[in-house]
Amino acid sequence: MSALQFELPHRLEANEPPETRGLARDEVRLMVASKHDGRIAHARFKDLPAFLAAGDLIVVNTSATLPAALPARCSDGLEVELHFSTPVPHRVADRWWIVELRANERPFFSAREGDELTLPGGGRAEIVAPYAGGRRLWVAKLDLPEPVVEYLQAHGHPIRYGYVPREWPLSMYQNAYAVEPGSAEMASAGRPFTAQLITELVARGIQVAPVTLHTGVSSPEANEPPYPERYRVPEATARLVNSVHGWGGRVIAVGTTVVRALETVANPDGTVTAGEGWTNHIVCAECKVRAIDGLITGWHEPEASHLQMLQALANDELLDTCYREALGHGYLWHEFGDSHLILP
């Protein structure tokens, strides 16, 4: 096994929220790994403050999850599910979206340009063209009775994949600090945070700052690169990141979405500037990270682009050790699973 190639047993796929297993959100397991000496500790997420120090900064993604899945009917009568990913960059957001079609819990590759889909509540969508030359995502032209966000809130449900056998309410897919609807899927690294835990962090002198990055649908195909996503790094957050680095504190990103947002606006010297728009930035082992020192994340599937992003922060030897430990100790994967903290 290497850090990017391993077999994930089905028993380690979290198929329900921890709350249904009798755990509070912050009682999921937490593995803590140190890049400095390679040490690994096993804890619970509620123990997070013990691994941080006054003067550190946690950066969170405040994007809220949309109920981005809809039942749809093709013109030939076939029933499929339509997943809304992101608006088409630089087009009218309520008319043009990047979408994925799925059937029987798998990508539906039989769509054709010009196909018409009938949606709930009088909505319609036309499949216009493959997105970025691929075969999984499509550009769709929408004809909806109301703006996309309101329409999805009225008719949609959260995206879920085959390892989650039943539907759960949208509240199970929202982070405690989420405020701005826009993500196709939950920025799940932040799910274990609770209001009480955030209060404890702040009381210990550990600051918390927001960015926004609206995630698209996940990339289940091996080696599929990330595509453009909307982001915003506020001026106050940029100043705080720079100040924390200035006094020797550590900047800890909560999730790969935060890494992508901050690295988009990072300068060669590691300082960051405020910014917003669409990011095409890809974080990989070759480019390394400049703006962050540590990361709170979940456990990623083999060869996933998010797992490759971890190589920009930690070396393969440490990642190998962490993933071997996680597999051996029964850590759970996916959005309802356990957590991983990588420290400098």
User: What are 140-185's pLDDT values in tens digits?
Assistant: 999 999 999 999 999 999 999 989 999 999 999 999 999 999 999 9
CB atoms within 10 A of CB 289: 19
pLDDT greater at residue 266 or residue 111: 266
- Rounded CA-CA distance 344/333 in Å is 23
Task: State residue 90's pLDDT score.
Answer: 86
Question: Residue 2: its pLDDT value, please?
Answer: 59
3-class DSSP state of 66: coil
What per-residue confidence (pLDDT) applies to 108? 83
- Coil/strand/helix, residue 50: helix
Could you give the domains of the chain? 10-65+168-343 (3.40.1780.10), 69-155 (2.40.10)
Contacts 24+ apart (CB under 8 A), 21-29: 24/194, 25/176, 25/191, 25/192, 25/193, 25/194, 26/192, 26/193, 26/194, 26/196, 26/197, 28/192, 28/332, 28/337, 28/338, 28/339, 29/331, 29/332, 29/338, 29/339
Q: Percent of the chain beyond pLDDT 70? A: 96
Averaged pLDDT score across all residues of the chain = 93
| 108 vs 255 pLDDT, higher one | 255
Going by pLDDT thresholds of 50, 70 and 90, the confidence category of residue 127 is very high
Q: Which tokens go with 333? A: 């994967």
Give backbone dihedrals phi and psi of 18, rounded to 5 degrees, phi first: -60, -25
Spatial separation of the C-alpha atoms in residues 120 and 128, rounded to whole Å:
20
CB–CB of 311/266 below 8 Å?
no
SS3 call for 63: strand
pLDDT tens across 312-335, in order?
899 989 999 999 999 999 999 999
- Please name every residue paired with 71 in a beta bridge, in sequence order, or none if there are none: 81
pLDDT at 288: 83
Which residue's entry shows tokens 């195909």? 221
Q: What is the mean pLDDT of residues 235-242?
A: 98
pLDDT band at residue 4 under the 50/70/90 scheme:
low
